């Protein structure tokens, strides 16, 4: 058995070890030896060991997971960290008030004592990543059901994780996990070290850091200084620690030198970061669902929600601060969904996927053994898509309209443990601890909550859900409503979950009858009950689909042995490499690879919420006061390269051949929004803010020269 498994994994490794392409691919750092010759041919000056090493310092030691879904990089010996403005947006918003509106005016800490703590924010450094596929899969067989297979894999993962935790002495700062790759055909053990004292250092005003807002989002040419600055702290004895005034700046194993030498078209670039999710091996059945259901639903529901939010944000500065981050989170993938559908249709991705599946079926027919092994793969994917189409539609509406769309339900959900305790279940914890934690959550919730806004949105979401979804998928609370507007009015007149005074009073003397009969809590209970019911109905179909996807990808890799396969993104560290360059989105149009401050000024519209510039930036432009960051009388702003990124890469460093920082990746281009499903070599671009523009804003605009002095500037 052991010999058979070894042969399988030797073959599996060979399947993705040749013919690398420079533009497409999110490469695992442990496999860079396979890419090394190609990278050198493109201009790479380092070695794979310089990029990833467990025993020595390497570039990976300067790259972090920032918060829950972004990337950041350390740029000084004192733990200074750069990430995107939109990645730090939540922290900027949390620190903002009408009196001190950092979203509007920006923020720059004059010294370390003025840097602002962020409870709940952390960064994670990759310690090591190890292929453990053999250990995880050695006891599974093709004869197992998917449930049996998953149970065996879970047992192996638990055993391996406990071993890793023991190795790292189970210190709180170390996180060990095993993640699947290649649709669960391979597994890697990953170890992180987490630092929980991360302080806000600086950010430009949104008129610079989010210049262009929704109109320019995903678009080129781009003119956004999408950066913010934080600092990582550690305990005086050099260990990760919770926030304390006694903590000192983190001393990194490695930090990135900052290059102001610039770049030329065709120059080598590489990006390291944590891409969130791609579906490059999605079948035509998944593409069809994306085109016809998933994206249109998201576009419709979020579009209405954002319209109502924006009305109140424009009318009230306080509401604008409260909802800025919420609106941004919603609108980002709303617009992405619009662009993705356009790209999928324009680039005939559905047709290409069907052609690949036809070739796969033909390949299977040529060999009885292949048919026996992979012959059911496509049906195992297609049939569940068809059988759960209606349920998937309803599930998405529940999520978008209620779980994401109705704010008071989120506070009701956070109150579940208290409800359980009051109902007699003391296993959920001590009453004092439950109330203390809930009070903390409630204070945070109400700080950024405007009941009139939630009321408008909630009514619209309820009406849209009932108009678009079959009644058999309604949560029970809806079935008892005669008049939707009257129902919403009743909630906002009587519920404790929409009024801080009422909620605080309830927490001082919580009674089961109050929460049990609260209409908002009833809505939460029945909504999540219905969602869970639908999920259980599709459990068997989901198992079949997972098996089909695993077999299909394994079959593709066996069919195309000369193709270099890489795993889909799953928020693990990857490297992508390519070159700086322009592109042609359509006949007769060529987009240059770089934008300048001149273009920023050309877009300026006085008083416009998306394109209104601070006068000081206009004055610096008029005076051509660019310092050492300008080039021949111009100020570079953003640039494009053909690196392969997706969500999660936001804030990732884009580096030159020497591993020096050229800029921060922050977006993809509109014409290739289909890229998470099908990479388009001719169109796919990464948009990055030039580090020289970042330094110019820090130095000449903000006067925060002390931050520049921390960095190692390469001229």
Give the model's confidence band at 37: pLDDT under 50 very low, under 70 low, under 90 confident, else very high: very high
Give the model's confidence band at 286: pLDDT under 50 very low, under 70 low, under 90 confident, else very high: very high
Q: What are the pLDDT digits (tens) for 524-579?
A: 999 999 999 999 999 999 999 999 999 999 999 999 988 889 999 999 999 999 99
Give the model's confidence band at 170: pLDDT under 50 very low, under 70 low, under 90 confident, else very high: low
**Could you give the dihedral angle defined by the CA atoms of residues 513, 514, 518 and 521, in that order, rounded to the nearest 10 degrees?**
-80
Angle at 594 between CA 591 and CA 600, to 5 degrees: 100
**Could you give the CA distance from residue 649 to residue 687 in angstroms, rounded to a whole number?**
11
The predicted structure's pLDDT at residue 94: 95
Give the model's confidence band at 143: pLDDT under 50 very low, under 70 low, under 90 confident, else very high: confident
Q: What are the pLDDT digits (tens) for 448-464?
A: 999 999 999 999 999 99
Lowest mean pLDDT among 1-5, 63-67, 76-80, 211-215: 1-5
* 1 pLDDT higher than 80: no
Q: CB atoms < 10 A from the CB of 484, how many? A: 16
Angle at 538 between CA 525 and CA 350, to 5 degrees: 120
The string over 597-608, giving b where at least 16 C-beta atoms fall within 10 Å of a residue's C-beta and e elsewhere, is beebeebbeeee
**Could you say which of 23, 50, 61, 86 is catalytic?**
86
* Helix/strand/coil for 279: coil
CA distances 85 to 299, 335, 629, Å, are 24, 18, 20
* 132 pLDDT higher than 70: yes
> Which residue carries 């996990």 as its tokens?
177
Give phi and psi for 652, each to the nearest 5: -65, 145
Return all residues near 467 (Cβ < 8 A) that are at least 6 apart.
Answer: none
- Mean pLDDT (the chain) is 94
**Could you say which of 101, 214, 216, 226 is catalytic?**
226
Q: What are the pLDDT digits (tens) for 673-710?
A: 999 999 988 899 999 999 999 999 999 999 999 999 99
* 590 pLDDT higher than 80: yes
Q: What are the pLDDT digits (tens) for 637-670?
A: 999 999 999 999 999 999 999 999 999 999 999 9
| Structural domains in the chain, sorted by start | 1-122+196-279+568-715 (2.40.10.120), 395-537 (no CATH)
Q: Exposed, middle or buried: residue 518 (CB in 10 Å: 0-12, 13-18, 19+)? A: buried
Give the model's confidence band at 49: pLDDT under 50 very low, under 70 low, under 90 confident, else very high: very high
Q: What are the pLDDT digits (tens) for 602-633?
A: 999 999 999 999 999 999 999 999 999 999 99
Q: What are the pLDDT digits (tens) for 92-124?
A: 999 999 999 999 999 999 999 999 999 999 999
The more confidently predicted of residues 141 and 270 is 270
Q: What are the pLDDT digits (tens) for 671-680?
A: 999 999 999 8
86 is catalytic: yes
Give the model's confidence band at 166: pLDDT under 50 very low, under 70 low, under 90 confident, else very high: confident
Give the model's confidence band at 433: pLDDT under 50 very low, under 70 low, under 90 confident, else very high: very high
Average pLDDT on 257-284 reads 97
Q: What is the percent of the chain with per-residue pLDDT over 90, rounded to a whole number?
A: 92
The predicted structure's pLDDT at residue 142: 84
Query: Strands 574-579 and 27-28: what pairing?
Result: antiparallel
The predicted structure's pLDDT at residue 7: 36
Tell me which residue of 49, 23, 25 sits closest to 36, measured CA to CA. Answer: 49
**Could you give the CA distance from residue 389 to residue 529 in angstroms, rounded to a whole number?**
20
Give the model's confidence band at 31: pLDDT under 50 very low, under 70 low, under 90 confident, else very high: confident
Maximum pairwise Cα distance, the chain: 75
Return all residues near 255 (Cβ < 8 A) that are at least 6 apart.
Answer: 62, 74, 75, 76, 77, 80, 712
Estimate the share of the chain in helix, then strand, then coil, as percent rounded to the nearest 5: 50, 15, 35
* Helix/strand/coil for 206: helix
Q: Exposed, middle or buried: residue 609 (CB in 10 Å: 0-12, 13-18, 19+)? A: middle
Average pLDDT on 339-354 reads 95
Average pLDDT on 588-607 reads 97
**Could you say which of 96, 133, 184, 650 is catalytic?**
650
The predicted structure's pLDDT at residue 4: 40
Return all residues near 493 (Cβ < 8 A) that are at least 6 apart.
Answer: none
331 is catalytic: no
105 is catalytic: no
Q: What are the pLDDT digits (tens) for 363-421?
A: 999 999 999 999 999 999 999 999 999 999 999 999 999 999 999 999 999 999 999 99
Tell me which residue of 360, 369, 449 sits closest to 407, measured CA to CA. Answer: 449
Average pLDDT on 175-200 reads 97
């Amino acid at each position: 058995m052991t010999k058979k498994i070894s042969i399988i994994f030797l073959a599996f490794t060979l399947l993705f070890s040749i013919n690398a392409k420079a533009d497409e691919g999110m490469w695992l750092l442990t496999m860079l030896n396979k890419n090394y010759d190609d990278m050198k041919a493109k201009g790479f000056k380092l070695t794979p060991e310089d990029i990833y090493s467990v025993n020595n310092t390497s570039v990976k030691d300067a790259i972090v997971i920032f918060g829950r879904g972004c990337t950041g990089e350390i740029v000084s010996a004192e733990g200074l960290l750069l990430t995107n403005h939109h990645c730090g947006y939540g922290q900027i918003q949390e620190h903002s008030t009408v009196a001190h509106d950092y979203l509007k005016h920006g923020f720059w800490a004059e010294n370390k004592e003025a840097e602002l703590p962020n409870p709940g924010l952390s960064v994670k450094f990759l310690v090591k990543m190890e292929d453990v596929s053999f250990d995880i899969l050695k006891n599974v067989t093709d004869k197992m059901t998917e449930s049996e297979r998953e149970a065996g894999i879970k047992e192996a993962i638990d055993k391996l994780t406990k071993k890793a935790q023991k190795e790292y002495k189970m210190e709180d700062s170390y996180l060990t996990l095993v993640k699947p790759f290649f649709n669960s055909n391979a597994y890697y053990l990953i170890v992180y070290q987490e630092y929980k004292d991360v302080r806000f250092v600086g950010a430009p005003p949104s008129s610079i850091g989010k210049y262009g807002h929704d109109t320019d989002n995903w678009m080129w040419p781009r003119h956004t200084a999408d950066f913010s600055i934080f600092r990582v702290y550690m305990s005086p004895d050099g260990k990760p620690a919770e926030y304390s005034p006694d903590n000192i700046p983190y001393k990194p194993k490695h930090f990135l030198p900052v290059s102001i030498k610039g770049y030329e078209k065709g120059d080598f670039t590489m990006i390291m970061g944590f891409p969130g999710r791609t579906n490059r091996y999605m079948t035509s059945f998944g593409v069809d669902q994306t085109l016809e259901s998933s994206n249109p639903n998201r576009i419709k529901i979020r579009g209405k929600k954002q319209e109502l939010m924006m009305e109140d944000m424009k009318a009230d500065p306080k509401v604008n601060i409260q909802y800025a981050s919420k609106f941004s989170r919603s609108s980002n993938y709303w617009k992405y969904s619009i662009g993705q559908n356009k790209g999928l249709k324009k680039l005939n991705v559905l047709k290409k996927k069907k052609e690949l599946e036809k070739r796969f079926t033909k390949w299977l027919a040529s060999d009885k053994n292949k048919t026996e092994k992979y012959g059911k793969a496509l049906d195992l994917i297609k049939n569940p898509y068809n059988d759960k189409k209606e349920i998937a539609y309803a599930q998405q509406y529940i999520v978008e309209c209620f779980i994401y769309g109705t704010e008071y339900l989120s506070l009701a959900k956070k109150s579940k443990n208290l409800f359980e305790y009051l109902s007699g279940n003391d296993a959920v914890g001590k009453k004092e601890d439950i109330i203390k934690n809930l009070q903390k959550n409630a204070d945070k919730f109400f700080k950024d909550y405007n009941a009139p806004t939630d009321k408008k949105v909630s009514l619209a979401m309820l009406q849209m859900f009932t108009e678009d979804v079959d009644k058999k998928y309604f949560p029970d609370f809806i079935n008892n409503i005669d008049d939707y507007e009257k129902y919403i009015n009743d909630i906002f007149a009587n519920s404790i979950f929409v009024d801080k005074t009422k909620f605080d009073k309830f927490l001082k003397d919580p009674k089961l009858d109050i929460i049990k009969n609260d209409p908002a809590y009833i809505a939460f209970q029945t909504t999540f009950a219905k969602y869970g019911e639908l999920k259980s109905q599709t459990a068997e179909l989901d198992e079949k689909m997972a098996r089909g996807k695993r077999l299909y990808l394994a079959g593709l890799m066996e069919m195309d042995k000369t193709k270099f396969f890489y795993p889909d993104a799953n928020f693990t560290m990857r490297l992508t490499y390519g070159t700086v360059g322009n592109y042609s989105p359509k006949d007769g149009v060529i987009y240059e690879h770089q934008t300048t401050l001149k273009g920023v000024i050309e877009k300026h519209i006085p008083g416009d919420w998306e394109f209104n510039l601070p006068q000081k930036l206009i004055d610096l432009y008029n005076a051509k006061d660019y310092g050492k960051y300008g080039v021949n009388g111009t100020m570079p702003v953003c640039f494009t390269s053909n690196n392969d990124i997706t969500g999660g890469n936001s804030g990732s460093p884009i580096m030159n051949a020497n591993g020096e920082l050229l800029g921060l990746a922050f977006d993809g281009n509109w014409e290739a929004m289909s890229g998470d499903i099908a990479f388009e070599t001719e169109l796919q671009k990464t948009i990055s803010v030039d580090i020289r523009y970042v330094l110019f804003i820090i130095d000449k605009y903000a006067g925060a020269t002390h931050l520049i002095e921390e960095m190692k500037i390469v001229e």
